[in-house]
A = this chain, B = another copy of it.
Amino acid sequence: MDYQKIIDDLHLKYKSKTIKGEVASYIPELKKIDSNKFGINLYTLSDENFGAGDYQEKISIQSISKVFALTLALKHVGESIWKRMGVEPSGDPFNSLVQLEFEKGIPRNPFINSGALVICDILISKLKNPKIELLKFVRKLVNTKDIFFNEKIVASEKEYGYTNAAHVNLMKSFGNIENDIDVVLDFYYHLCSIEMTCEELSKSFLIFANDGILPHSKERIISLSISKRINATMQLCGLYDEAGHFAFKVGLPGKSGVGGGIVAVHPDLYCISVWSPKLNKKGNSAIGFKVLESFTTITESSIF
């Protein structure tokens, strides 16, 4: 299959399309992004790599990094993390407190904000220097030193992060946060502020396509079982309240962020990333969603 041509065609087709959507505006730093940015990257397990557009530009990966945090937590702490959160879809907008209160401070899954906050709390309790170890882990997946937090994003999130503070306080009131609230929020905002290119994103997710083994070094990072379970969790909970639609139309496990990135995994074959900052009503990249739908339709490569 001529992946380069398919990706070039998709880039050309959607570059000219006018698609409704708004750049994320809840923090000032994100609003500054040029809404016309658009990149696609495909990375295969046979180490081939196809890109189009702005795929080598750093983007704020935002919630996509929740997958890295979950992976680190499963690697270092294991299945006991599930005592503190579920793996069920939330069926609610991603910042809802209702469910969290109803379910006594136990987040429904690790990819909603409250779940990621608990993951942060777990990593803070377990790791000596969680911020450094997180960066080290992501850099290892990509085989680069060039991955950093964006401290401007961190500062902006902190200034406007009242909803997250509400979540973490509520969970603390239920006894599901061990560490100081400010420490948990600080780590969480750093987690959200990681910057990577589409190419790096695709490459970093290859372990989930490769049963837990890092392709370039053949090192096993996580077990086969953990790798499959993280894919399952992405499939069920990776796109906020649009996960069902994404499974239905794209048919791959994936994770999105409000920076406009989406990355999807085809087990045993490839990872694909798209970046386009305009978000649809559910908070996912509008063009990113359509590109991935077209890609799996053309290549007939849904997992279903």
Give me the interface of A with B, judged by CB distance under 8 Å.
Answer: 86-92, 96-99, 101-102, 108-109, 160, 162-163, 165-167, 169-170, 172-173, 181, 224-225, 227-229, 231-233, 235-237, 241-245, 247-249, 251, 253, 267, 297, 300, 302-304
Contact = CB atoms under 8 A, between A and B. Distances in A.
Given A248-B229, A251-B228, A304-B231, A88 B88 contact: no
Contacts of A109: 244
Please tell me how many copies of the chain the complex holds. 4
A126 B211 CA distance: 46
Contacts of A181: 162, 165
User: What DSSP secondary structure best describes chain A's contact surface?
Assistant: helix
Of A88, A242, A253, A297, most buried by chain B (CB within 10 Å of CB) is A88
Contacts of A227: 304
B173 A169 contact: no
Given A165-B166, A228-B302, 7 more contacts: A87-B248, A108-B244, A165-B165, A166-B169, A166-B170, A233-B244, A236-B247
Contact of A91 (B99, B167, B245): B99
19 contacts: A86-B245, A91-B91, A91-B92, A91-B108, A97-B101, A108-B244, A109-B244, A162-B169, A163-B169, A166-B167, A169-B169, A224-B300, A225-B297, A228-B251, A228-B304, A232-B247, A232-B251, A232-B304, A233-B247
